[in-house]
Amino acid sequence: MIQTANRLESVQEYYFSRKLKEVRQLISEGKPIINMGIGSPDMSPHISVIEAMQQSLWDNKAHEYQSYQGLPELRKGFAAFYQNNFGVSLDFNTEVLPLMGSKEGIMHIALAFLNEGDEVLIPNPGYPTYASVTSLVQAKPIYYDLIENTNWEPDFEQLEQLDLTKVKLMWVSYPHMPTGVNGTIELYEKLIAFGKKHHVLIVNDNPYSFVLNKN
């Protein structure tokens, strides 16, 4: 048998994959399970959405390879979304890249910025993929604890006590997964200042902005 790469020794089965197996096993045993795991929609899309998808199959370009950067119309739509909802101006040609999902983005960021031996600040609790990808690219995860007493925000005084010389990237996620707490302007200002001071790339994984916000 051909030996696999050493990096696979640091990769374990995805957390939610393992947990969903446990859930299915409990259900098969007749246990009354309420699944509060992955938030898959339990309602079908509106008929207009399904009809639009069906109609798109007749497009003359539907059978071709797609653009590596995504269609310009799509990227322009993303840029307009950010401008309308966040007041952020983006260049759709150089600052927008459509992805298949957050895992792809997390992997690309890690591949683009991390070398073997670099260190990464990872929230605890937080999305398990941050640590998995960090280990996969042979960087070192450094966990920082989030606690309820500080509204699930990083303790910057505690972070300043760490040896940050090898830290290159810091993952944050607000609205936070799994607690749901929202990020404040003051928090983002502290994060930006911290990143500039220590030359650390701050990456905010932001999939829940229109799920857990009132706006």
Query: Looking at the domain that runs over 100-204, which CATH code has it been given?
Result: 3.40.640.10
pLDDT above 70 for 89: yes
Average pLDDT (122-136) is 93
> For residues 43, 207, 34 and 151, what is the CA-based torsion angle, rounded to 10 degrees?
-140
- Average pLDDT along the chain: 89
pLDDT at 201: 97
pLDDT at 37: 67
Q: Where are the domains of the chain?
A: 70-99, 100-204
pLDDT at 21: 87
Residues 165-207 have pLDDT tens digits of 999 999 999 998 888 889 899 999 999 999 999 999 999 998 8
Q: Phi then psi for 102, rounded to 5 degrees?
A: -65, -35
Residues 23-77 have pLDDT tens digits of 889 889 988 887 766 667 778 899 999 999 999 999 888 888 888 888 899 999 9
Reported pTM: 0.81
Nearest to 174 by CA among 209, 139, 147, 198: 209
Nearest to 164 by CA among 154, 174, 173, 175: 154
pLDDT at 23: 86
Distance CA 169, CA 112 (A): 11
Percent over 90 (pLDDT), the chain: 58
Q: Is the link from the previous residue into 125 a cis peptide, with omega within 30 of 0?
A: yes
Distance CA 16, CA 84 (A): 34
